[in-house]
Structure 1
Amino acid sequence: MFNLERLRTLDALARHGSVSGAAEGLHVTTSAVSQQMAKLEREVGQQLLARNGRGVRLTDAGRLLAEHAARILSQVELAQSDLEARRGQVAGELRLGAFPTAARGLFPAALSRLRSGHPGLKVTTVEMEPASGVRAVLRGDVDLALVLDWYNKPLPVPEGLTRSPILDDPADVAMPAGHPHADRGEVDLEDFADDDWVTWGEAEFCDEWLLDTLRSKGVEPRIAHRAGEHATQLALVAAGLGVCVAPRLGRGPLPVGVRTVPVRQAVRRHVYAVWRADADRRPSIRAAADALRAAGEGLG
């Protein structure tokens, strides 16, 4: 009979494409991955890995067994979900991922709610960008991830995942206090056609959204600065170095010298929780989604 941990290691190797990637995804050392694979090869009596330059690749036998491993692990996940659902208890371990502003804006209240309501549940969290969160759920590295899309730019969610809405997050334009539009009640994005922009990292989902949206309004944005963290973007705005789109979730107090003005045609991010469909019946997943929605409602 196959050892599940060894099959899980093989599955991680197939998904990540490298020993180091599998080790990171499984939260073990590369040596542990190599040892598990050596034991699995002895168990099946066939070579599953072959050298490929400085790395490794799966042999034909390795790919065949990896396909079976993925199905076996999915069935194990379903069995665990059914048993949890039958027991009806929110307990065990749950791994959550979220993009930074959701981690800051939703995790503290949601995790406190889970701890007080379900003391038998152990929750661990990690920050990750939306696309990485989707991949992590697919790979099984996290059980649930918070991801986002924009009102006019949906985030593709692959088959096999369940998506559940958590909240809509309005966004404003942040500008220096001395900007000509700082005292207005509303603005349009195209009002800032002549301004320098502070945006996200190049080719990130939110950066692509901003460029596409401005160009759809006939504006070719002048990108002056890029920063992944909203706090850094706002610090650059406070220094008079440009304007930026500032979502409200996890934003915190504004730096001195920064004003935010709502956009006339509301600019919103949609925040979702995603998890594997074969884990859909796990009470812990449902409890986490409920706690995250309650945390979002508390922001209003």
Structure 2
Amino acid sequence: MLNLDRLRTLQAIATYGSVSAAADVLHVTTSAVSQQMRKLEQETGHQLVTRSGRGVELTPAAQLLARRAERILGLADEAEAELQARNESAIGPLTVGAFPTAARGILPTTIRLLAERAPQLNVQVREMDFDSPMSQVERGDLDLGIVQDWDHVPIPWTDGVDRHLLMTDAARVALPAEHRLADRDVIRIHELVDEPWISRVRRSTCHEWLLYTMREQGAEPRIMHSVTEHPTQLALVSAGVGLAMVPTLGLGPLPPGVRTSAIEPHLTRRIYVIWRPDRAIRPSVRVAIRALSDATKQTALLPVP
């Protein structure tokens, strides 16, 4: 009998193009993926992968099995959802993918609420910095995803997901306390075009957002430092080496010597929770969406630094 976990591994390789990408999606090691594939070859009696340079290619037999696997795994997911719905209680694993500021700003409160409301639910968080959870939610690799929809990078919505708006988040500019504009509650974007910037790394949404914002003003941002985490950005702002554009959600306590101001025109993003339509019948998904919504309301009540 074919093992569902091994079929899921094969499908991940077929979908994401490599053993390493499949391992990232499945949150296992590459050696675990290779071991699953060897066992699947033994089960089927067919060679499924061949070496190609530094990667692997799927054989025709593997490609056939991967196409069937999508249907098999889909039916298994539907059966699991229907059985969960009969229980009328939220139990078992629930996987949630989120971008970093949502993982920091929304999910801790959500997990606390779920521990109170659904103690038999096992929530597993996957922070996703550069890739949207959208495709993984559509494929069923994630139960829920938290995505951000910017005016300049709108989400191309499809019929493969349902969504619920959690909140609208505004950007702020972080400045050294001694900066000439630090005492201003609101700063016009055109006043910042010549400033040195501390940005998140390339490929990140916040980096692209800074480029878009400055180019809208007819200027190229003077990015002096590129760092991965917002706390590091703020530490550099505190050192007086530049400004940073930061979202309010997940901003956290400011280090000494840092002030934040609102920006005009306002820079905003919409934050949604998304799920696959067939998973909406699962009590675990329904209770998690409610907890996310409640956690976001609590977050929205926090004072802006």
The residue that corresponds to 1:182 in the other structure is 182
Q: What is the 5 A alignment of 1:36-47?
A: 36-47=36-47
Aligned residue type for 2:65: L
The residue that corresponds to 1:277 in the other structure is 277
Between stretches 49-58 and 239-248, larger displacement belongs to 49-58
Count of matched residue positions in the alignment of Structure 1 and Structure 2: 300
Q: What is the 5 A alignment of 1:67-146?
A: 67-129=67-129, 131-138=131-138, 140-146=140-146
Quick check: 1:230 aligned with 2:255? no
In the alignment, the residues of structure 2 paired with residue 24 and residue 52 of structure 1 have an alpha-carbon distance, to the nearest angstrom, of 20
Between stretches 10-19 and 21-30, larger displacement belongs to 21-30
In the alignment, the residues of structure 2 paired with residue 201 and residue 31 of structure 1 have an alpha-carbon distance, to the nearest angstrom, of 29
| Cα contact 1:12–1:139 (8 A) shared by 2 | no
Quick check: 1:9 aligned with 2:6? no
In the alignment, the residues of structure 2 paired with residue 131 and residue 29 of structure 1 have an alpha-carbon distance, to the nearest angstrom, of 19
Please report the TM-score for the alignment, with normalisation by the length of structure 2.
0.89
Quick check: 1:191 aligned with 2:177? no
| Cα contact 2:164–2:273 (8 A) shared by 1 | yes
In the alignment, the residues of structure 2 paired with residue 202 and residue 46 of structure 1 have an alpha-carbon distance, to the nearest angstrom, of 42
What do the CA deviations read for 1:154-198 (whole angstroms, capped 9, x no partner)? 134555233322111122111112222222231111110121111
What do the CA deviations read for 1:10-37 (whole angstroms, capped 9, x no partner)? 1122123333433443344544433433
| Cα contact 1:134–1:157 (8 A) shared by 2 | no
Between stretches 60-69 and 83-92, larger displacement belongs to 83-92
The residue that corresponds to 2:61 in the other structure is 61
| Cα contact 1:130–1:146 (8 A) shared by 2 | no
| Cα contact 2:171–2:246 (8 A) shared by 1 | yes
| Cα contact 1:14–1:63 (8 A) shared by 2 | yes
The residue that corresponds to 2:154 in the other structure is 154
What do the CA deviations read for 1:24-64 (whole angstroms, capped 9, x no partner)? 43344544433433343344343322222243211112111
The residue that corresponds to 1:251 in the other structure is 251
Task: Could you tell me which runs of 5 or more consecutive residues in structure 2 were left unpaired when the two chains were aligned.
Answer: none
Question: Which secondary structure state, in structure 2, belongs to the residue aligned with residue 249 of structure 1?
Answer: coil
Question: Which secondary structure state, in structure 2, belongs to the residue aligned with residue 179 of structure 1?
Answer: coil
Task: Could you tell me which runs of 5 or more consecutive residues in structure 1 were left unpaired when the two chains were aligned.
Answer: none
In the alignment, the residues of structure 2 paired with residue 105 and residue 277 of structure 1 have an alpha-carbon distance, to the nearest angstrom, of 26
Question: Which secondary structure state, in structure 1, belongs to the residue aligned with residue 241 of structure 2?
Answer: coil
Alpha carbons of 1:276 and 1:222: their partners in 2 closer, same or farther (altered >3 Å)? same
Query: CA offset at residue 93 of structure 1?
Result: 0.6
Please report the TM-score for the alignment, with normalisation by the length of structure 1.
0.90
In the alignment, the residues of structure 2 paired with residue 27 and residue 223 of structure 1 have an alpha-carbon distance, to the nearest angstrom, of 34
| Cα contact 1:176–1:259 (8 A) shared by 2 | yes
The residue that corresponds to 1:219 in the other structure is 219
Aligned residue type for 1:134: M
Query: CA offset at residue 94 of structure 1?
Result: 0.8
The residue that corresponds to 1:165 in the other structure is 165
Aligned residue type for 2:263: V
Aligned residue type for 1:38: R
Identical-residue share of aligned pairs (%):
49
The residue that corresponds to 1:289 in the other structure is 289
Query: CA offset at residue 239 of structure 1?
Result: 1.3
In the alignment, the residues of structure 2 paired with residue 81 and residue 114 of structure 1 have an alpha-carbon distance, to the nearest angstrom, of 19
Quick check: 1:206 aligned with 2:206? yes
Between stretches 149-158 and 262-271, larger displacement belongs to 149-158
In the alignment, the residues of structure 2 paired with residue 228 and residue 212 of structure 1 have an alpha-carbon distance, to the nearest angstrom, of 19
